Structure 1
Amino acid sequence: MHKLIKEGTVRTGLTQGIEYNGWTIISKKAHICNSTEMDNLQKDLGIPPPEMVFGNNIVTLSKGNQTILSFNARDALAQVEHNDKNIKVAYAAEWARNSTRSDVKDVVKPYDWTYSTTYKGTGDGFEEAEEPGVDVARLQQQEPILFYDEVILYEDELADNGTTLISIRLRVMPSCFLILHRMFLRVDNVLFRINDTRIYHEFGSPYVVREYTSREDRFQTVFNNLPAAKSDVSLLGDPNWVGSKLPPPKTFTRERFVL
């Protein structure tokens, strides 16, 4: 038997989750960060935060009394590239060349202004592993969904020249669970990038699997895959559609946490 958790409201802070087979998976969603919280983030991280940060949103994965992994905006932003040498983001110059907006052309920022992150969650104890990995075949089987939720950590419109979105999807079935942490980046006329972290566990198995992939391609290459009429450009903002058009990962890692 499983127990569903639901406390509070979106306005006051909503906690949802499930207790099942000794596991507790929790998502907490609250209001967007206010000006004071944004100022504190900037002081803490050393870079201006994205336009919309849900700093009080968090996902936690626990086994018994042990927290295996958690996800939050602050730790994701801490992995945005920046340092004291003011190294520019690799795509900033190309972005500026392709932009028609003077305010973008004139901006030089000493950090990755796309807010790209290689964040894979907060937690220790994962070690490199070869097999087994995420059982895609099992995930494609028809099973009841005991719990599902989606949480946003942060989002930015990149000065109206694209978007960065960090989101988490949780799905718990009778036989297993999957957590997908996704960074979706679209920089108009430059590139698409998707960094995915999948956390997978089959109930009863002695480990939790974590797989990380990074895929990207030029904007025009993906754009050319739109339907012939090129009328439904909204597809360019759909991470699932864009993901189906990207090439195989340029980066892939597999780890596991032994229980």
Structure 2
Amino acid sequence: MASLHSLIKEGNATGIRINDWTILSNKTSILSSHEIDKASADIGIPIPEMIFGNNHLTIEHSSGWKLEFKALPALAMVDQSSTSSDAIKVSYAREWFEKRSMANQEHITDVVKPYDWTYSTKYCGSLASCADHQRFEPSTTDTIDIEQLKKPEPILFYNENILFEDELADNGTAVLATKIRVMPSCFFILLRFFLRVDDVLFRIYDTRIYHRFGTNHVLRECSVKEDSYHATRAKIPRSRGDDLSLLLDSNWIASVLPDREVHMQRADLTKSE
């Protein structure tokens, strides 16, 4: 089906208007020191080295339904329980944790506050606006149409946006980023939290958003993948010899990690289709 669309360029934001949707991706620089201090105080933990707190991806339907992807709400979901900092161990994790806390949180009374230093977050987007009947239902039998996504359609709009990144004091990497592609028939969003702790583990939290134009619902799939570093490394094809570059490729890692959890959700944009 033909899709009426127009591209958007507004300051730091680019996007597309298509059918009943407005999609915008805002990209700007990392937070200033003042913004970092405020964000850290508000959230209660030292925040990642590279924090793009003003970046966001938003999708908005003409009905008023609006979904956003932002860094600070994602970081607010990082575990701050009393044992969270001990969940994953590396040789000097505690020392790094305490130094990082002291360096970034001098204005907080309880300086050495426990938190998950890997910044693992199961954040799957924020519903900025919706009616009660438009909220994501906790389960659905619907699935994302993978075959539709494989069709060789023109890509009307594509964008990648990093929300935060941290090298975990040279122990690995933690990255939260979005990707979106809009085709004439549908749009697809991937929000991915990717974690590599060297010699310990790999972890991926993926959120996939899918909408086919002409339907009145949005699908959201949330999945958890995790395995040990060594089990994942053992899956590198022997033909690559000592080449470990695949361990830096989140797409390859996602293809070999086992699923631990998968949840499908559906949000209806109108009361009935």
Normalized against structure 1, the TM-score is what?
A: 0.90
Structure 2 unmatched runs, 5+? 100-111
Q: Distance in 1 between matches of 2:139 and 2:117?
A: 33
Cα distance, 1:18 vs structure 2: 0.4
Matched, 1:245 2:256: yes
Cα distance, 1:64 vs structure 2: 1.3
Cα distance, 1:88 vs structure 2: 2.9
Correspondence for 2:144: 134
Q: Mapping of 1:193-204 within 5 angstroms?
A: 193-204=203-214
Count of residue pairs brought into register by the alignment? 247
Cα distance, 1:5 vs structure 2: 0.4
Name the aligned partner's letter for residue 48 of structure 2. P
Q: Which of structure 1's runs of 4+ aligned residues deviate more than 4 A?
A: 101-109
Contact persistence 2:45–2:113 (CA under 8 A): no
Q: Distance in 1 between matches of 2:98 and 2:76?
A: 26
Normalized against structure 2, the TM-score is what?
A: 0.85
Stretch moving more, 130-139 or 199-208: 130-139
Question: 2:231 aligned to 204, 221, 238, which one?
Answer: 221
RMSD: 1.9
Correspondence for 2:103: none
Compare relative contact order (CA 8 Å, sep 6+) and give the higher one, 1 or 2.
2
Describe the SS at the equivalent of 2:29: coil
Percent identity of paired positions between Structure 1 and Structure 2: 47
Q: Distance in 1 between matches of 2:72 and 2:164?
A: 9
Correspondence for 2:21: 23
Q: Distance in 2 between matches of 1:41 and 1:198?
A: 27
Contact persistence 2:97–2:117 (CA under 8 A): no
Cα distance, 1:90 vs structure 2: 4.9
Q: Distance in 1 between matches of 2:242 and 2:177?
A: 27
The Cα offsets for residues 153-188 of structure 1, whole Å up to 9 and x where unpaired, read as 000000101000000000100111001000000000
Correspondence for 1:178: 188
Q: Does the C-alpha gap of structure 1 residues 251 and 36 become closer, same or farther in structure 2, counting only changes over 3 Å?
A: same
Matched, 1:54 2:52: yes
Describe the SS at the equivalent of 2:126: coil
Correspondence for 2:80: 82
Correspondence for 1:11: none
Q: Distance in 2 between matches of 1:109 and 1:158?
A: 17
Contact persistence 1:60–1:67 (CA under 8 A): no
Name the aligned partner's letter for residue 251 of structure 1. E
Describe the SS at the equivalent of 1:177: strand
Name the aligned partner's letter for residue 21 of structure 2. W
